[in-house]
């Protein structure tokens, strides 16, 4: 086990090198003990091919999840981000799906740029929404028969696929433009409350009112509907007249998984 562990440690170090191993003297010297090479490639040259494949695969996976972020940073900037991120947060999952999970948090320490931070959070919301489990159909009969007293103590369980992101830039428009193959300019700041979810046939997103977003956040934390509405209404007195319409919209969009009375 000790020898196997030493080989695994060596391979992990070698593969995670962002640049060619041909200039790594210590690695070059140790490689023949683990890799034979062939008539065309020396042991370190063969290992360097594996290293390059490691980086192509991992950078490609990150770019697939963060396509708009890659566009904004540019090829060199995104590669630099990937190198710094993978060095600080090496893969710890058997699936590449989880590779970019820590990138939004890492970016806040790597670069002071609100647009970049918002983009990462927004694009990862699509990954989370896409993979989230589906909720069972809402029991509309139980909702229709509920009394006022029932609604006073009601708690809403939001669908796992619903992701919520507060941003300071219109990253929804920026991402949509990049998805269409356009070359948009850096947008001006604009505060938005964005919801991302998995629709029946495609991923969806919607800019919602601040009051609606604040209510969703409270409901997601398990607050009763009545107390959540009161808290939000204390900040925006007009919320009370809108809750009914919001509830109908959320139910129609599949955002509400369950109502408990």
Domains of the chain: 1-112 (no CATH), 133-261 (3.90.930)
25 by DSSP, 3-state: which? helix
Confidence of residue 25 (pLDDT cuts 50, 70, 90): low
Give the highest mean pLDDT range of 48-57, 88-97, 139-148, 190-199. 190-199
pLDDT of residue 122: 98
Alpha carbons 69 and 66: distance in angstroms, whole number = 5
Q: What is the mean pLDDT of residues 193-212?
A: 96
H-state helical runs in the chain? 2-15, 25-30, 43-65, 67-88, 103-110, 114-131, 140-144, 148-152, 171-179, 210-220, 225-235, 243-253
Taking the whole predicted model, whether its pTM rises above 0.95 is answered as no
pLDDT of residue 137: 82
What percent of the chain has a predicted confidence (pLDDT) above 90? Answer: 64
Give the pair of three-digit tokens for residue 201: 């046939």
């Amino acid at each position: 086990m000790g020898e196997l562990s030493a080989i695994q440690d060596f391979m992990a170090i070698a593969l995670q090198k962002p640049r060619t191993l041909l200039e790594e003297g210590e690695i070059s010297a140790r490689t023949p003990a683990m890799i034979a090479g062939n008539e065309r490639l020396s042991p370190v040259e063969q290992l360097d091919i594996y290293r390059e494949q490691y980086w192509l695969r991992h950078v490609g996976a990150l770019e697939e999840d963060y396509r708009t972020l890659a566009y904004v940073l540019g090829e060199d900037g995104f590669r630099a981000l990937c190198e710094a991120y993978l060095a600080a947060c090496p893969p710890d999952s058997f699936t590449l799906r989880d590779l970019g999970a820590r990138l939004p948090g890492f970016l806040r320490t790597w670069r002071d740029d609100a647009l970049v931070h918002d983009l990462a959070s927004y694009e990862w919301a699509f990954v989370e929404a896409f993979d989230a489990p589906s909720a069972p159909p809402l029991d509309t009969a139980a909702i229709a028969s509920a009394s006022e007293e029932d609604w006073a103590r009601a708690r809403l369980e939001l669908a796992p696929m619903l992701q919520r992101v507060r941003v300071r830039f219109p990253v929804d428009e920026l991402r949509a433009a990049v998805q269409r193959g356009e070359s948009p300019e850096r947008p001006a700041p604009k505060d938005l409350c964005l919801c991302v979810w998995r629709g029946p046939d495609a991923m969806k997103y919607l800019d919602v009112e601040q009051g609606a977003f604040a209510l969703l956040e409270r409901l997601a934390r398990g607050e009763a509907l009545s107390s959540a509405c009161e808290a939000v209404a204390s900040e925006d007195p007009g919320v009370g007249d809108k809750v009914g319409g919001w509830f109908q919209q959320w139910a129609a969009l599949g955002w509400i998984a369950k109502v408990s009375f």
